[in-house]
Structure 1
């Protein structure tokens, strides 16, 4: 994916819509024409990395930064999972298959996948925060033998708020992979775990040396950090996303400037060690 100008969005067609929860939908986006650089179709090559985001725009409403939830291995399209929480995202939710959005990007750094071969992975997600993690999970699953054990912990408000539920169950069936999910409060007919996502940490045992990826609401991230640190995770092995701070996506507006860095350019993925060095853990909500 290549944008010839930082501020010019590219028209995309919504080729499929999947309702994940009452307020979260996944949109499959296809490009109206090839976007080439030096003869290479960068859409077919899926030129983005897990953890990056795009700026999605709706005519007359503006744009919003949204993480890519598909894998670079998913050729010819990208997916975004959108929670209706403002005028732009509600506008996206109001679109139908065949409708159009504008797209800029991809922007930001990415999860350090090249440094993780042979390592155990732990993914901790809350709410729509599982979406950017899904991009990395799907990527790792496509090269499963290159990595160690994988554990996925996910928390939602209720059973109706669980996203990618079929995929969670499918991942749980993959060799050396475990997926656990929980809801915040008991409800009729629910026989699974009840409690915040950190209550699932008891199921994973020793996590020393594992790479840990966390994304979700600030309060969830804060408690998840305390939990995984108490289980022996190292600061430099914990990665978090600060995408909620971003606006322009290209380091111009200053909206995401924190600790001497721009979340949209230097992030949105930071290690916990980086945040501590920047002395911005509290400001970052962790």
Structure 2
């Protein structure tokens, strides 16, 4: 079992506004560098004097060669991170958890389905597939958000359209929105789904992941080829405290990414 190591100091190299309450920031090591991260893994980021929260890596390499994390301000610590400016320092430890199984996606069509800020841990998957097109089949990126104002990475999503099947949908339109309205599963018909050669990677609110996984399975995609990223209250990130327990799993250690054939029976138990 892993031990908790002290966070290393990382400096904020750049900050990018995503929405009115969400920002991406690039971190570079102030001294020693952490081991390499994989898509889907997360770091524990410490805002000095405030607290520590788990944050997925949203890009493995930013403009200055550092890790990129995307944070939505929802609590005291995430709000402190949201307010970071270039030159500020935070503590970082990791990498933690099991990331997306891109080996399972090799030679298959990769269908990325995201709800809200769930696109953040999936963005490195899109980057990886686009960087190695010969290793994969077709790429689909389906994104849902509450409103157009809540869409993150809007410019980058547009840049993917020439290289992937891209669909964007919102729950509630705002003036000037001319796109799709509804839930993200309504976009599945946009992708010419070949069940026997599709690997789906899904991240978003839990109810969205359950409904999306069920829609994919109903279309013939095997449950073990549907990967989901689950979220629980991760505090230690090393399997010690038990706060992130989901049945027999400790998601900081055994997840957050697991295949849906393992996730489905656990998510069906309300007490978990």
Structure 1 length-normalised TM: 0.89
1:208 and 2:195 are equivalent in the alignment: yes
> Which residue is 2:175 aligned to?
188
1:280 and 2:266 are equivalent in the alignment: yes
Q: CA deviation at 1:207?
A: 3.6
SS of the residue 2:59 aligns to: coil
Q: What are the ranges of 5 or more consecutive residues in structure 2 without an aligned counterpart?
A: none
Contact preservation (8 Å) 1:72, 1:139: no
Q: CA deviation at 1:76?
A: 3.2
SS of the residue 2:6 aligns to: coil
Comparing 145-154 with 205-214, greater Cα deviation is found at 205-214
Aligned-CA RMSD value: 2.1
> Which residue is 1:110 aligned to?
99
**CA separation in 2, counterparts of 1:73 and 1:149?**
25
Question: 1:67/1:234 Cα in 2 relative to 1: closer, same or farther (>3 Å)?
Answer: same
1:13 and 2:11 are equivalent in the alignment: yes
Question: 1:226/1:183 Cα in 2 relative to 1: closer, same or farther (>3 Å)?
Answer: same
Contact preservation (8 Å) 2:10, 2:27: yes
**CA separation in 2, counterparts of 1:198 and 1:9?**
39
**CA separation in 1, counterparts of 2:221 and 2:141?**
15
Runs of 4+, deviation exceeding 6 Å = 72-75
Task: Give aligned pairs, total.
Answer: 270
**CA separation in 2, counterparts of 1:82 and 1:101?**
14
Q: What are the ranges of 5 or more consecutive residues in structure 1 without an aligned counterpart?
A: 36-41
Question: 1:208/1:196 Cα in 2 relative to 1: closer, same or farther (>3 Å)?
Answer: same
1:249 and 2:237 are equivalent in the alignment: yes
SS of the residue 2:172 aligns to: coil
